[in-house]
Amino acid sequence: MKLVVAVVQDQDSNRLSNALTKNDFRATKLASTGGFLKSGNTTFLIGTEDSLVPKALDVIRENCRARDQMVAPISPMGGNADSYIPYPVEVEVGGATVFVLPIEQFHHF
Ligand code: 2BA
């Protein structure tokens, strides 16, 4: 068994949630925050059999897309200004950042 952890953009989370359910995957959605943009994203925990991991990855790939997002500059508060960029920068976010972890035990009481 594997745990698929997928960090996706909030805009894709409902569509992905529906698609996972439709394809018989069980998933838990967690509200999360990106360390770089410091804005909300959604993390899915999907427990599934090893043989179904490729299908789960397909569903994630089909329902999450990359988008460009502007990062507003945050002025340094009385600190080091060396890394300060005084203008907005565009970064590409997503479609999805996915980790696949082995599960030692699974219990469902
Ligand atoms: P954030 O950390 O808010 O990052 C948003 C986007 O900013 C990233 O998109 C990437 O394009 C850019 N970015 C992140 N760190 C950067 C840096 N140090 N320098 C320049 N650009 C940087 P994605 O790579 O698609 O990541 C989307 C979200 O997935 C991330 O949001 C974070 O929540 C999660 N994530 C990505 N890689 C991760 C990792 N190795 N471990 C844990 N979470 C990760």
> In the prediction, which pLDDT does 89 show?
87
CATH class of segment(s) 2-73+85-102: alpha beta
pLDDT tens per residue, range 63-77: 999 999 988 776 666
Q: Is 70 in the pocket of ligand 1 (CB under 6 A)?
A: no
Q: Is 36 in the pocket of ligand 1 (CB under 6 A)?
A: yes
pLDDT at position 6 over 80: yes
Instruction: Report yes or no: 45 and 28 within 8 Å, Cβ to Cβ.
Output: yes
Q: Per-domain residue ranges for the chain?
A: 2-73+85-102
CA angle 27, 61, 47 (to 5 degrees): 25
Task: Say which residue the tokens 């500059």 belong to.
Answer: 73
For residue 97, which of 30, 19, 7 has the smallest C-alpha distance? 7
pLDDT tens per residue, range 77-92: 666 666 666 788 899 9
Average pLDDT over the chain, rounded to an integer: 92
The CA 34 to ligand 1 mean position distance, Å, reads 7
The CA 37 to ligand 1 mean position distance, Å, reads 8
Share of the chain above pLDDT 70, in %: 89
pLDDT tens per residue, range 13-43: 999 999 999 999 999 999 999 999 999 999 9
What DSSP character marks residue 79? S
**55's tokens:** 């299908």
Beta partners for residue 82, in sequence order: none
